[in-house]
Structure 1
Amino acid sequence: MLRGKTIVLGITGGIAAYKGAALCSKLVQAGAEVHVIMTESATQFITPLTLQTLSRHPVHIDTFDEKDPSVVTHIDLADRADLIVVAPATANIIGKAANGLADDMLSTTLLAATSPILVAPAMNVHMYEHPAVVRNLELLASRGVMFVEPGTGQLACGYVAKGRLAEPEDIVIAVHSLLKAKENGTLAGKRVLVTAGGTVERLDPVRYLTNDSSGKMGFAIAEAAKVMGAEVTVVAGRTSASPPAGVKVVRVESAQQMLEAVLERFDEADIVVKSAAVADYRPVTRHGQKIKKSGETLTLELEKTTDILQTLGERKTHQLLIGFAAETEQLEKYAMDKLKRKNADLIVGNDVSQEGAGFNGDTNIVQLYGPSGLIEAMPLLSKRETAQRIMTIAAQRLAEGDVRSGGRGVE
């Protein structure tokens, strides 16, 4: 799937460097031509011979070790790369890249790069959360660098926390999605508005109604749109996942706040993806003080919230509107009904009762519907790959002008 692609793999000095060997092997097996750059510190954890054997190319360490007099190696590698991947990326190399330092082979190559850059951080949780590192990550994201978020697990220092290098398989998926999205980069100059996560409807200052949405699918949609060149804004409710780098995030709590934030930005959007799990009902009365326990039962009176997707369907002019339908039965029937009633252009339907397709997971199984019916039934895929497929189809529809006019079909 990566045949014909040249990938420069940077490996830096952390214990997770050993995973760099597995990543290199998987990229080569996928058909990529891989050129490895190691920092001096990385060679303390894994030998260059290992990476040379796996990549079938010399490993680059010293900026001044020029083997081919016809080229300047770090410039040649930067020019040839379709993608540069840094995995693991320590706090040190992240700081160098963010601040334009170039004192070794890898940082010099990164400074000369014109290709996309994918960074997979790995470090102690306190280092990862340090304000300096957070700022450096934000700075890189603002320049278009993409990230594979570290996982939560056992760290070499003994902590069980976030900071563990993403698994090589997940990094390969990210590589494939990024390169494929780059080829389909048809959203340059477009504005994409995404809603993500679940809303919170408060009963009192300490209690509320919500749902299990993690925000992962919405954030994956936002990342895919960004990779395809769009300017992306995410209106996010309650989430357990981290938003992707390089997108604008507007935080809200309730369904009403989400409606207002979306409407404020709707007119200037080209594509709107309504993937948030918005509450259908909210308490009629929100108590200013904590409700005290009294009696054996408590009766709550609820009222309907404003349907955001239907409101957008009624108001849209040029926007391509995409909704989500999470169902537990008769998926096609309910998805098509929702598309027509709410005047959406596409509906992403998923049966959340299926294993691998529910809330909080990293995978999904979806079916994409348009006015004429099923467009594509996607198998079990990572949410990142699912998002990439959805946005590719959305971009094609937008380019073809396949957008339903506002108000049509709304009951």
Structure 2
Amino acid sequence: MKIVDVVVTPIAFEDPPLLNSAGVHEPLVLRCVVQLRLENGIVGLGECPGGEAETSRLLTAAQAMKGQDVFATTAARQAVHRALGNATTRVEERDSAWAPLEVAALDAQGKLVGRPVSDLLGGAVREAVPFSAYLFYKWAEHPALDGRPARSDAWGPALDPDGIVTQARRMIDVYGFGSLKLKGGVFPPADEIAAVKALAQAFPGLPLRIDPNAAWGVATSQHAARELVDVLEYLEDPAPGIEGMAQVARSTEIPLATNMVVSNLSHIRPAVEQGAIQILLLDHHLWGGLRRSRDLALLCQAFGIGLSMHSNSHLGISLAAMVHLAASVPELTYACDTHYPWNAADDVIRPGAVRIIEGSVPVPTGPGLGVELDEDVLARLHQAYLRSGRRRRDDTGYMRRVVPDYDATLPRW
């Protein structure tokens, strides 16, 4: 069955002022939605990070998909890599352009044969995929800038341990999450250690994680690990680089996780040789699709590396793809990350297909991804992208408009 057209639609949707080591989330998230059309009219859906550079690569890749057999994804991937130019783009850029196209192809395949994507990946080994509450330090509102009034949200501020505990309690009450992850690298490490300990006291027995996004140096990471040795399920990307992570790993019993220092296959060998990580966070957007991520799980099993799943701000198409992938990977034994509670209000899919119930998302059983595009919302979010004038994510630049002397250099402590 031939692919006759691929439509790429850049969109923008609202995001709260969530703080991280780079700065703060801007009022709008940039994403792209892919619609891959077959000769019989079936449409497969994909979603990925957006921005001018990402959209340009995706449009080039989309052209290479036309005329391809939707089932011949190996040949289609090779065509995409050739179109992007193996010598002129990094492997991560080629893989990230291919990923939403592969997801859309698998969605279309599933609709053709009447089976969910998880079946195309070998079958689901779990009926629902557990997720972790993703906690953020955050401002009470986006400040008034460029003539735009300040914009608050229902979550309110979270700038200290009490605020983080309150946020976690709401996440648990609304979504039933059974584990908690704090995005760190925002305040001095002592403050963030205190926040994790406050979570442990407020929610005894719940697995806890913190991700400083490489904002801590090796010595600071080692100190934090000593403080939290009996508290954390794992410690994610505390220090920069494979060598830095390896030094921390040698000094603590806490497993170290990453989505930063191991982001393509060339990183696996040095990370394993140096013992830098014990857990890898899968992300099909970064690793080149669902099947390559599924293969990566086997490689991690061979080296004794555990698996969780990374998230960035996303909507329901991406969440559905993440769920189908996680459902088909028996080696994935840690609850996955998701930003979905922060972004679900502006979803481009019709309600009901993906829901967080008691901390897990049931695997969609309909054909393909099991989701349906809401064309009206897609058009509205595309207009929001056009009106915004924004063409790339810039957490640091946005922070500096509020805090002019903000220094994003890492490690910070």
TM-score normalised by length of structure 1: 0.27
Q: Which has the higher helix share?
A: 2
Higher relative contact order (CA 8 A, sep 6+): 2
TM-score normalised by length of structure 2: 0.27
* Structure number with bigger Rg: 1
Q: Which has the higher strand share?
A: 1
